[in-house]
Structure 1
Amino acid sequence: MPSHRKPRTRIGTTAPALGVTTAALASVSLLAQSADAAPAGPKPSIEEVQKKVDDLYRQADLATQKYDAAKEATAAQRAKADALLDQVAAGTAKLNDTRRVIGSYAAAQYRDGGVTPTMTLLFSDDPQAFFDRNQLMGRLSDEQHRTLSTFESQRAANAKKRAEASRSLAALTTSQQTLRAGKQDVQTKLAAARTLLSTLTAQEKARLAAIEKKKQDEAERQAAELAAQQAAAAAKKKATPPAGHAPSSPSSPSAPSAPATTKAAKALAFARAQMGKPYVWGATGPASYDCSGLTQAAWKAAGVDLPRTTWDQVKTGTRVATADLQPGDLVFFYDDISHVGMYIGNGMMIHAPHSGAYVREESIYYMPIYGSVRPA
């Protein structure tokens, strides 16, 4: 780091821990106090609890994507500010070198009989002296003339860079504030979900698990239907070769779940290798992931760079219909596009679900589908 630079406080780039912050606990405490102060209402049903918990996890997913975007913006702004400060440092060094050369002219004149009015004006920062200085430029040697012109250009350029660096640092401060607010938002949503679940009795938790199992069974039934439709479509395509081509042997039909490209196969292999690793919001691996962190890392392993957030990933590649999904494709969920998973075939995907869960396989019908893309 250049000697002129002072180290700035940086926000950590490591994945946030799952622990509840003091701010989050305070928020939950205030909610609890408000609830105590209000008249006690009927206890929510297990179905209502499940809906509320699911909604909180979805809100946390959405807040996580906002956090991921803010984290990227902060990193980019920090890099820009650092580059500008380096340029200012280099410009200041050049300016000082030129100033020393001009100083040598003054020293020489002093040795020859004192500092002349010409040298006095050269060192003046008074804008009013500019006209007089220009008049005296004609009295300088060619070398001195070039040196002074260089000094003036360097001083103007450096002042411009300093102003730009100041604006960039202000923007960095704003990005850091957004990042901190996003972090607190995620933690508050997750704390509320955990608090709600902690109020359930063992019997209520068992009933909640049964409701969850029923939801998963229905999602898997829909996945099986999609798998059957895709297999039928593949068989029909196999049996109807293009005009002028002989039909292929029926003894070796292509599996509908086979990755369409080598890149997709590599991405899928990477995603499978992450199975069982914990979901941690804001994480991009290798020990843990959030949903878009997993898909980004998987396709990066295949040589394809995806953006960080679901909102940007959905704009990358080619849009595909659910019926045309192939392994490696990305499936996005909810109208706010707050979640993503990687299709593996047969109506199933690998994804990082939510806080407290692990990377796993699940039916793509477990959540409402927004749309799908094929990155490569």
Structure 2
Amino acid sequence: MGPDKHAVRPGGRGILATAVTVVCAVTVLAAPGTAFAAPSPTPSPSASASAGASVTVPQDKDLEAVREKLDKLYHDAAVATDAYNAAEEATQKQSAEIVDLAKKIVKGQQKLDELKERAGRAAAAQYRTGGLPDSAQLILSDNPTQFLDGAGRVLQGQRATKALIRELTRTQQDLKQYAADAADQWNKLEAGRKAKAAAKKKIKQRITAAEKLESTLEKKQKERLAELEREAAYQAQTAWLDTGILDEIHTKASAAGKKAVAFATAQLGKPYVWGAEGPDSYDCSGLTSQAWASAGKPIPRTSEEQWKQLEHIDVADMRPGDLIIYYDDASHVAMYIGDGAIIQAPRPGRTVSIGGAGSMPILGVVRPDA
């Protein structure tokens, strides 16, 4: 729910109340463990149908189709995870901006009160002189010295009055703009909360469907499925290496790149958890963003923004520490570590591990410390 428009009156006490309300609300929203927490979603009929589509044990000949379906479900979950992370990052930024604006509103209201007090003192001084302005008293004076001294005071007083009026007007305008900006950021915060909740629901639906599908398999079928996954990755990696790409890649890691690789390597074996940024678990972009943060180079949180914002590098020019972005929708990212290998947080049910750089469709390569 956005701020009450009737409470945002520039120059009035409503602004101060708005500021206090905003600060309190954002403090609650940003509290660890409560930030935009959505209740565990109830799968929709379509999701339930999807999750329960394979209620009987698949035949061995159907395992390749099962693998492809699982790949799609986990890919969809990865896309939703990127959307969730982007919404989370945006809401954190908007919350900080709302708090900053609220502080400006409080400070501006205090300044406005001081200016009004000054104006009141000036009015009281005029009352004490019989209600005559300085210019009228000057005209009535017949003392030359008093006249000259008074002329200087009149000019100074006029300038001070104009300056006071200008400052009052500017402060009121600033307060009005701060209030409008706070309302705008609040609306964005609400939109981000809804986007985050929708992404969370989609992630859970896809992962639940994948887990239910895998639960229908017998032990030997699960082993065969894992073998099919390895074979698919191996074939893709072999095809990539057969292009002769490693003959062209000879670039050594930068100092920062070595630090990023060392951080990522230290996370090997930790579980994939969507939305996680460590230290005990990671999703794909959580791993890469934290690795580069440890190297002193903060980068965007999501794989999509890493692809959009970081400098693109030819695959043949990549070096350890560079990030490889996968799939046409930039839904997965891994860190290149050299010799045709990557470190990645693959998907739910897997751990941070080493894999082949060409084991998935490469969209491109980006360099955080270009």
TM-score of the superposed pair, with normalisation by structure 1: 0.72
2:302 to 305, 309, 317: 309
Deviation at 1:350, TM superposition (A): 0.5
For 1:22, the equivalent position in structure 2 comes to 40
CA contact (8 A) 1:223 1:348 kept: no
Deviation at 1:219, TM superposition (A): 4.1
Partners of 2:203 and 2:50 in 1: CA distance: 21
Q: Which residue identity is paired with 1:263?
A: A
Deviation at 1:147, TM superposition (A): 4.1
Residues matched between the structures, number: 321
RMSD: 3.7
Q: 1:101 to 1:352 in 2, by over 3 A?
A: same
Helix, strand or coil at the partner of 1:314: helix
1:90 to 107, 112, 116: 107
For 1:64, the equivalent position in structure 2 comes to 81
Partners of 1:169 and 1:205 in 2: CA distance: 48
For 2:195, the equivalent position in structure 1 comes to 178
* 1:319 is the counterpart of 2:313: yes
Deviation at 1:83, TM superposition (A): 1.6
* 1:203 is the counterpart of 2:220: yes
CA contact (8 A) 2:259 2:295 kept: yes
Q: Which residue identity is paired with 1:60?
A: A
Deviation at 1:34, TM superposition (A): 8.6
CA offsets 1:117-158 (integer angstroms, 9 cap, x no match)? x9xxxxxxxxxxxxxxxxxxx9xx645665455434433332
TM-score of the superposed pair, with normalisation by structure 2: 0.74
Partners of 2:245 and 2:173 in 1: CA distance: 69
For 1:355, the equivalent position in structure 2 comes to 348
Q: 1:86 to 1:266 in 2, by over 3 A?
A: same
Q: Which residue identity is paired with 1:64?
A: T
For 1:230, the equivalent position in structure 2 comes to 246
For 1:75, the equivalent position in structure 2 comes to 92
* 1:366 is the counterpart of 2:359: yes
Q: Please, which runs of 5 or more residues in structure 1 have no aligned partner? A: 119-137, 235-255
Deviation at 1:106, TM superposition (A): 6.0
Deviation at 1:109, TM superposition (A): 7.6
Q: 1:320 to 1:153 in 2, by over 3 A?
A: closer
CA contact (8 A) 2:51 2:208 kept: no
Q: Please, which runs of 5 or more residues in structure 2 have no aligned partner? A: 1-15, 134-153
Q: Which residue identity is paired with 1:87?
A: K
For 2:325, the equivalent position in structure 1 comes to 332
1:10 to 19, 29, 45: 29
* 1:46 is the counterpart of 2:63: yes
Which piece of structure 1 moves more, 205-214 or 144-153? 144-153
What does 1:82-161 align with in structure 2 at a 5 Å threshold? Answer: 82-104=99-121, 142=158, 146-161=163-178
Partners of 1:82 and 1:345 in 2: CA distance: 44
Partners of 1:66 and 1:363 in 2: CA distance: 26
Q: Which residue identity is paired with 1:218?
A: Q
